[in-house]
Structures are given as C-alpha cells and as structure tokens.
Amino acid sequence: MPAPLPSEKAFIPFVSVENMMRLVHHVGIETMLVELTDAIEADFRRWDLFDKTPRVASHSHDGVIELMPTSDGAVYSFKYVNGHPKNMARGLQTVTALGLLAEVSTGYPVLLTEMTLLTALRTAATSAMAARHLAPANSRRLTLIGNGAQAEFQALAMKAVLGIEEVRLYDIDPKATEKTVRNLAETGLRLVPCASAQAAIEGADVITTCTADKQFATILTDNMVGAGVHINAIGGDCPGKTELHRDILLRADTFVEYPPQTRIEGEIQQMDRDYPITELWQVVSGRAQGRSSERQITLFDSVGFAIEDFSALRYVREKLAGTDYFQKLDIIADPDDPRDLFGMLLRAA
C-alpha cells in the first residue's frame, strides 16, 4: 500500500532557474530591479533588528564557498554561494547560489530558491540603492569596468533607479563587451564600447568595477579618478582580491555594508584599522551624511551582505502569491503524530 501523501504544510515552495526567469519576465526586469532596490532599502532602515555576522567562508586555492545567514527575529534566511574565478575557463559560472527562507517561530522552511540569477539582481539593486544616496545629482553617465555576468544587471538597475542614459564599457576581453552591447541593444541606453579603462571613465558620474580575478589588482589608479564621481567597487569580495589603488581610498569617503566583513574582503582590507568608514544603513536611515559636496568622491565598497539576500528572498516569496512560478517540494517529514517518525517510515514499506 503506498504511503499517504504529505500534508500541505509539509510542502515547500521551490523556485527553479526556469521559474525564476519566468517570474522576472512576468514582473519586468527593470520593474523588479526598482522593487528589489526599495525592498533592500526598507530592510536597511530596520538594520538594528537583524542578526549580523560575517559570512562563514571556506577558502581554497580555487575559490571560496560561503554561507550567509541572518534573521530579523521573525524570519530566518541563508544563502549558499561560491566564488570560483577559474570556472569561466571551464565554461562554468563564476558564482552560483541557492537560498532558503524559514519561519523563526517553527523553524520550518517556507521557501527554497535558486539564487544565481537572484544574486545578480539583488547585487545590482544594492548598487543602485547606494548610488541613489551617494551619486552626484542628475547622474546620467555610467562606466562599467568588467563586462561579465553582472554588467547588464548593473546597467539596467542604474537606468531604472538613477536615470542613467549612457553606459561606457570596458573589459580586457573584447568579447565580453560585445556580449554586453548585444544584450543591452534594445534597452534605450546609449552604449559606448571603449578601448581602455581610462577612455571608459571619461566624463563618468558613476563608475562600477566588477572584475573577477582573485588577486590584488589595480583596475583604477588614483590619477584616473577625478573629483565628484561615485564609485561602486563590487568585484572585491574576498581576502586578497581588490580593484582600486589605495590612494583612491585616501581621497574618497568610503561607505560599507558590515565593517567586520568588509575589512576582511573589501577594498578597505588595504587600509589601516583606523581608516574612516561610514555604514551605508546609517545614511539610508538618516543617521549619517552621504554625499555632501559636488567635488566629493564617494566609494561604496560593496562585498555583499546577508541582509540583502534576506530582502531578495522575502521579495520573491511575496511575488509568488497567486502564480504558478514554483514547484512544491516534499522535503519536510510530516508524521500524523510528531513523536512517531518511525511509524511514518513503516507506512512506506
């Protein structure tokens, strides 16, 4: 006799890659980026409510595997994510991820989802949120140094949230730039492929660096960065991986997500412990000043933080209501009597 089907409460919504793509197109890419930006900002305003810890990282010669947990006291989330720069040469993604959302009151999961696409979306939304508070007023020109998997998401988030009209592109691999131009061709953005990083940043209001090499690198030198720009440095996200010359940091006002994590993984790992930084949540909530002058150089030293993933997972769960963009997974044991797990097993014999 077949075992009885699990009760409805034992089924967990699971969003596959296919269904995540369906959901994004259902909402609209730019609309989703704007809504994710607002969701992340709303949780940054609740910063004090969250458990916070640097991500738990397992580093190797080839890359890193990390867990990123947090909770606001009612809902718990974590993301599993890797970063393996050498994967690209093998035809694999540099970053892959999956995430889980659970009720604190019962410990039961309420969502399991792919987060490779969702991480790209939330990273772009976080960059746009930071730029909304730190970039020069009426910014219209974006430079993207590094035209890999993040590039299109970053460009569209800045367009949708900030009003960016022109994107100047540079990558050491011309094929990456060609890919980005092709993918963004119908978005209404003016796209300017450039032959060098120096040419790409000419006239930029916002500069985003999103390179993938796991090494100390100098993507931008001090003499390349003029007064008044905002820099999103999003490529440096582990020990030994940076993109900016330290002299840029000496001229910039630097904003970070969670200092104990950023000091290990961000651009500020190059600096002394007394190097001044401001936490971005303080700017978002009005407790600290962001951009204060036209000639100020602002730097968002972004390494990604668990609260951003929490926001993205919470947003996706809300958007699933009334849709079929998920599957029901039977991954929680649900015996008729909670004390009789073995009896449930026997019924399947």
3-state secondary structure 74-94: CEEEEEEEEECHHHHHHCCCC
Number of helices followed by number of strands (H, E) in the chain: 11, 17
Return the exposure string of 301-336: e unless at least 16 CB atoms fall within 10 Å of the residue's CB, then b.
bbbbbbbbbbbbbbbbbebbeeeebbeeeeeeebbe
DSSP-derived secondary structure for 120-160: HHHHHHHHHHHHHHHSPTT--EEEEE--STTHHHHHHHHHH
- Per-residue pLDDT of 180-203, as tens digits, reads 999 999 999 999 999 999 999 999
Overall average pLDDT of the 99-120 stretch: 96
**Which H or E run contains 284?**
helix 280-284
The CATH H-level (homologous superfamily) assignment of domain 8-117+307-347 is ornithine cyclodeaminase, domain 1 (3.30.1780.10)
| Per-residue confidence (pLDDT) for residue 287, from 0 to 100 | 96
Which part of the chain has CATH 3.30.1780.10?
8-117+307-347
| Per-residue confidence (pLDDT) for residue 62, from 0 to 100 | 87
> Using alpha carbons only, what angle is made at residue 338 by residues 69 and 3, rounded to the nearest 5 degrees?
100
Q: Rounded CA gap, 318 and 71, in Å?
A: 17
How many other CB atoms sit within 10 Å of the CB of residue 3? 11
Quickly tell me which residue has 């131009």 as its tokens.
181
10 Å CB burial of residue 106 (0-12, 13-18, 19+) is exposed
Residues 6+ apart with CB under 8 A from 179: 147
Mean pLDDT over the full length of the chain: 92
Q: Rounded CA gap, 132 and 76, in Å?
A: 28
| Per-residue confidence (pLDDT) for residue 5, from 0 to 100 | 44
Just list the catalytic residues: 237
Overall average pLDDT of the 297-314 stretch: 96
Multiple choice CATH, 127-304, 3.30.365.10, 3.40.50.720, 3.40.190.170, 3.40.50.300: 3.40.50.720
Would you say residue 215 has pLDDT above 90?
A: no
Q: Rounded CA gap, 17 and 21, in Å?
A: 6
- Residue 282, φ and ψ in degrees, nearest 5: -70, -35
User: How much of the chain exceeds pLDDT 70, in percent?
Assistant: 94
User: How much of the chain exceeds pLDDT 90, in percent?
Assistant: 79
Would you say residue 6 has pLDDT above 90?
A: no
Which part of the chain has CATH 3.40.50.720?
127-304
Q: Rounded CA gap, 187 and 155, in Å?
A: 10
Crossing angle between the packed helical segments 17-27 and 116-134, to the nearest 10 degrees: 40
**Which H or E run contains 314?**
helix 306-320
Task: Reduce the DSSP state of residue 103 to 3 states and report it.
Answer: strand
Q: Where does the pLDDT of residue 160 fall: very low under 50, low under 70, confident under 90, or very high at 90 and above?
A: very high
- Per-residue pLDDT of 218-257, as tens digits, reads 678 778 888 999 999 987 666 677 788 889 999 999 999 9
10 Å CB burial of residue 346 (0-12, 13-18, 19+) is exposed
Task: Reduce the DSSP state of residue 2 to 3 states and report it.
Answer: coil
- Determine contact, residues 58/65, Cβ cutoff 8 Å: yes
